[in-house]
Amino acid sequence: MSNEIDNLAITLAKRPQGLPRITDFAAEARPLGPRSAGAIRCETLYLSLDPYMRSVIAGNHMGHGVDPGDVIAGEAVARVCESDDPEWPVGSLVRCHSGWQQYSDNPPEALASVPAGLSRPSLALSILGMPGLTAWAGMVDLAKVREGDVVVIPAAVGGVGAMAAQLAKRAGATTIAITSGEEKRRIALESLGYDHCIDRIEEDLEQALKQVAPDGVSVYFDLVGDPTLTIVAQQLSIGGRVVLCGLIKDYNGDHKTTGPHPGLWITKRATVNGLVVYDYEPQRSTFEQEFVPLAEAGELVANEQMIEGLAAAPEAFCELMTGNNHGKVVVRVGE
């Protein structure tokens, strides 16, 4: 590794207004300078694209943001390529917050191991990574999904939705996908094993829910905000549980979720929980120990949508924010 190598980076050209566009991003080949002392240099292999990043580039995600000119923030699976740290020797596979670039220098405390025994390291960004842990936290820890539950999942074939559906099915629940388009319907029903799929564009959500969940919805895992949140909440059964986890619609900045009237939560005797996955880092290894073997045994569907090359990341992110992805979006940056 030397100064002659360029580091391809994707930066924020300007803050998006509403839906992000490709022109909000810029690609730069930056000279790769010498590694800073004590840092561990990593070569990005797989980069994760997630809806929460929309609020990061808006500058207001949980107290941190990316400014114009900065490399877009993001989590990756990477390979250590320069290191003096015996804990992280060259060749180690790690998770790190590389951002959207080929090479990143990281302090050792910012690295995490990719689970041992994982034959597809990208899974550490999808069903066995942050989206999977989010699904587990919402479905298992908060909603305590169980046999007989009727579970509704919007963004149903995305990173969190795909794992949430499988966790719900494993618990014996009936699962209802909310998605759009024929391809995603097929993935939801045939690949991810949802019992029902509602097309949020072609169908009237309220009427469709009444048909497939005539006794009401017992668990709703909200990833999108209004109007879906309020419509599904109105179909809750008594004692229904709602996990509030994402507000995709609001992230684009042109929409403001209000949620249902608090009187509805009273009438439904609902339990509503706010979920931030960062709180679940202490449980990550327990989660990995349970689900890595299942993934390796072929009992979990990852439903990754692999994008080839870092340069394609902006377009893939823009598609993600319009809901045009058909799986957990991962960018293959290196091999």
- Nearest approach in angstroms of CB 159 to its own copies is 17
Q: Residue 277: CA atoms inside 13 Å, Cβ hemisphere, count?
A: 17
- Nearest approach in angstroms of CB 239 to its own copies is 9
| Beta strand 236-244 pairing with 271-274 | parallel
- Nearest approach in angstroms of CB 279 to its own copies is 6
- Nearest approach in angstroms of CB 62 to its own copies is 7
Q: Using CB under 8 A, pick the residue from 18, 254, 269, 286 that binds its own copies.
A: 269
Round to whole Å and give the CA distance between 128 and 297: 14
Which string of x and - marks every residue 51-70 that binds its own copies (by CB under 8 A)?
-----------x--------
Q: Using CB under 8 A, pick the residue from 216, 265, 311, 312 that binds its own copies.
A: 265
Round to whole Å and give the CA distance between 12 and 20: 11
Contact set for its own copies, span 220-249 (CB under 8 A)? 222, 225, 229, 244-245, 247
Q: Return the range that interacts with its own copies (CB under 8 A); candidates 89-97, 188-196, 251-259, 311-319.
A: 251-259
Q: Which residue has the tokens 């998605």?
A: 179
Compare residues 60 and 285 and give the one whose CB is closer to its own copies. 60
Residue among 218, 83, 82 nearest 149 (CA): 218
- Nearest approach in angstroms of CB 140 to its own copies is 16
Q: Using CB under 8 A, pick the residue from 56, 66, 76, 272 that binds its own copies.
A: 272
261 is a contact residue toward its own copies (CB under 8 A):
yes
Is there a contact between 221 and 143 (Cβ–Cβ < 8 Å)?
yes
Q: Using CB under 8 A, pick the residue from 17, 23, 211, 267 that binds its own copies.
A: 267
Compare residues 29 and 276 and give the one whose CB is closer to its own copies. 276
Positions that interact with its own copies (CB under 8 A):
62, 222, 225, 229, 244-245, 247, 250, 256-259, 261-276, 279
